[in-house]
Structure 1
Amino acid sequence: MARMLAFIVLLIPAIMAGAGIKFMRDTLFDKLISPFPWLWLQFVIGVIFFIVGLSFFAGFLLHRDRKNGRVASKYQKPQK
């Protein structure tokens, strides 16, 4: 059950990042999607979705690797 929950937690930001890529691609091909009134807003929302989704996924991986001791010394948290 815990693995399924972790998969779902990682699936949501991955879908979000994929939607961001789609919004940016549609803007470059001059295709406006209905909830957005302007192309520039569609592109900005796409960039935000992509950055948030990718940063969540990267932060999750960094946290997991820190916990398992598989990161370089410069990425380790300082010892208290």
Structure 2
Amino acid sequence: MIRIIALLILVIPGMGGVLGIKLIRDALFGVVHPLFPNFVVELIAGILLFLIGFGFVGGFIFYRDRKRNNVQPRFRKKGGNS
């Protein structure tokens, strides 16, 4: 059950990132959704969703690898054995 919850915690921001890419693409090709008043707002919303979604997933992977000591020496925690 815990693994399913962890998967959902990763999938939801990932889907937000994918939606951000779609909004960026639609703004560049001139498709305005009814939720947004113009292209600029849609483009900014898409960029924010993309950065937040994939930043969250990337941060989670980095945190997991850092905890397992699978990163370069410059990214390892200094001091402590935890």
TM-score range relative to shorter protein: over 0.9
Q: What is the rounded CA distance, in whole Å, between the counterparts of 2:52 and 2:10 in structure 1?
A: 12
Q: Tell me which stretches of 4 or more aligned residues in structure 1 moved more than 2 Å.
A: none
Q: Quick one: percent identity of the two aligned structures?
A: 34
* Counterpart residue number, 1:34: 34
Q: Structure 1 counterpart of 2:50, which letter?
A: F
- Please tell me the root mean square deviation across aligned C-alpha atoms, in Å: 0.9
- Does 2:12 align with 1:12? yes
* Counterpart residue number, 2:75: 75
* Counterpart residue number, 2:50: 50
Q: What is the rounded CA distance, in whole Å, between the counterparts of 2:53 and 2:77 in structure 1?
A: 23
Q: Structure 2 counterpart of 1:71, which letter?
A: V
Give CA-to-partner distance per residue, 1:6-62, whole Å, 9 cap, x none. Answer: 100000111100110000000111000011001001000000000000110011001
TM-score normalised by structure 1 residue count: 0.95
* Counterpart residue number, 1:3: 3
* Equivalent residue pairs, number: 80
Q: What is the rounded CA distance, in whole Å, between the counterparts of 2:49 and 2:73 in structure 1?
A: 31
Three-state SS of the structure 1 residue aligned to 2:45 is helix
Q: What is the rounded CA distance, in whole Å, between the counterparts of 1:76 and 1:68 in structure 2?
A: 10
Q: Which runs of 5+ in 2 are unaligned?
A: none
Q: What is the rounded CA distance, in whole Å, between the counterparts of 1:58 and 1:78 in structure 2?
A: 21
Q: What is the rounded CA distance, in whole Å, between the counterparts of 1:26 and 1:38 in structure 2?
A: 11
